[in-house]
Amino acid sequence: MKKLLALFAVCASISSCSSTRWMSLSVLEPAPVTLSPEVKRIAVINRSHPDKKGKVLDAVDKIFTLEGANLDKAGSEATIAAFVAELGVSARFDEVKESQAPVKSNNNPGGYAYMLSWPEVEQICKEAGADILFSLELFDTDSKIDYSAIPVKVNTPLGDAPAIHQEAKMTTRVKAGWRIYDPTLKLILDESAVSRHLVYRGQGINPLLAAKALIERKEAVRQVGNMAGIAYAYSVIPAWMRVSRQYFVKGNGSFKIARRKAESGNWDGAGQIWLDQTRDYKGKVAGRACYNMAIISEINGQLDEAVRWAQRSYEDYNTKLALRYVKILEARRIRKNILEYQESAELVSRPPAP
């Protein structure tokens, strides 16, 4: 016990003596997939279809195979509906709608449908008045069933009697895959899939009844499909994210005042103190102050200024933490250029509520 208390004391001491603290800020990150600013109208099609497996199945497994066809259909429809609804409320696009044009079905069980030809893509976009085509080309549910016997007590006129219930545990893998066809560039702009696993249990006096108790999973698959649709919508919309940064809270007496201002949310006040300390005669203090000025600059959205302060902190004063921060900021500048291109489409985006 004494050793444990001593360990806690050391940890507390290290924490209290730390020269830095963590803060977080919201940054707008570019969408993973960049669309041309000229793309304003989107057509969406559903090419996913239930797999048809020709293997011999026992009576219980047939229940799941037949139900699986409906699972795929319900899940893919939920995915399309959620995707269209999510992009439909974005100011980035003028129109997002599902096309009912006849298309080739997915004849590649468990995988992506074969690519549409460019004449087909052009025809679908022309009929829908769209600039680009989003295609759900894969929605597949694969289930694995395991059975186990569970001892239970059954209430009878003669009292409780021991019995055995069968428990069916089913793991369902849900996989949704998209392609984005650009008829102007004649390029596949993206091809990506997402997978999720769902686990269900059902009980009955025999394996068949236990299996039937699992049929309710259709609603859960719809929910997963809904989430998959929303998630993919955000592949073409910039999103606000929270990132963490370290800043120095120790250097001299002025740093203590600046720390309290930062903790209360007065970053401008803290920045004024740190700016004064960049001229301190002690290199360690000046280096930390320069580093903190990079933090202030990033908070204010001035990435070029932030890079200059961080470089000065490392190059002139050998502040080790500043070198890593320079690399983070330079990566952000690259992403900012991508973001500015994406926002040239007059994208309206708001930061998350505090």
From 204, 235, 266, give the residue that closes a domain: 235
Residue range(s) defining the domain that contains residue 302: 19-30+240-343
Q: Considering the domain boundaries, does residue 1 fall inside one?
A: no
Q: What is the pLDDT of residues 314-351, one digit of tens each?
A: 999 999 999 999 999 999 999 999 999 988 865 444 44
What pLDDT shows up at residue 15?
39
pTM recorded for the entire structure: 0.71
User: Rounded to 5 degrees, what are φ and ψ at 196?
Assistant: -140, 155
Q: Determine, yes or no, domain membership for 35.
A: no
What pLDDT shows up at residue 65? 47
Residues 248 and 326 in one domain: yes
**214, 309: one domain:** no
Question: Pick from 235, 264, 279: which residue ends a domain?
Answer: 235
Domain annotation covers residue 56: yes
Residue 263 three-state SS? helix
Long-range contact pairs involving 206-211 (C-beta distance under 8 Å, separation at least 24): 206/166, 207/60, 207/147, 207/166, 207/168, 208/59, 208/60, 208/63, 209/166, 210/147, 210/165, 210/166, 210/167, 210/168, 211/60, 211/63, 211/64, 211/145, 211/168
pLDDT attached to residue 7: 42
Could you tell me if residue 152 is inside a domain?
no
CATH code, domain with 55? 3.40.50
Taking 50 as the pLDDT cut, the residues of the chain under it are 1-16, 50-51, 53-67, 347-354
Cβ neighbors of 218 (< 8 A, separation 6 or more) are 67, 70, 71, 74
298 & 197 share domain: no
Residues 92 and 117 in one domain: yes
Could you tell me if residue 166 is inside a domain? no
63 and 90 part of one domain: yes
Residue 124 domain-assigned (yes or no):
yes
Residue 163 lies in a domain: no
**DSSP type of residue 100:** -
Residue 137 sits in the same domain as residue 274: no
Token duo for residue 154: 């059954």
**pLDDT at 280 (0 to 100):** 92
Last residue of a domain, one of 198, 220, 235: 235
Contact 41, 87 (CB under 8 A): no
In a shared domain, residues 230 and 259: no
> Is there a single domain that holds both residue 231 and residue 247?
no
Same domain, 283 and 221: no
* pLDDT, tens digit, 9 for 90 and up, residues 231-270: 899 999 898 999 999 999 999 999 999 999 999 999 999 9
Residues 204 and 309 both lie in one domain: no
State which amino acid sits at residue 246.
Answer: Q
Task: Report the CATH number at residue 317.
Answer: 1.25.40.10
Same domain, yes or no, for 198 and 90?
yes
Instruction: Give the CA dihedral 260, 265, 268, 270, nearest 10 degrees.
Output: 10
Number of domains composing the chain: 2
Please indicate, yes or no, whether residues 128 and 277 belong to a single structural domain of this protein.
no
Asked whether 143 and 64 are in contact (CB, 8 A), the reply is yes
Residue 225 pLDDT: 86
- The reply to whether 58 falls in a domain is yes
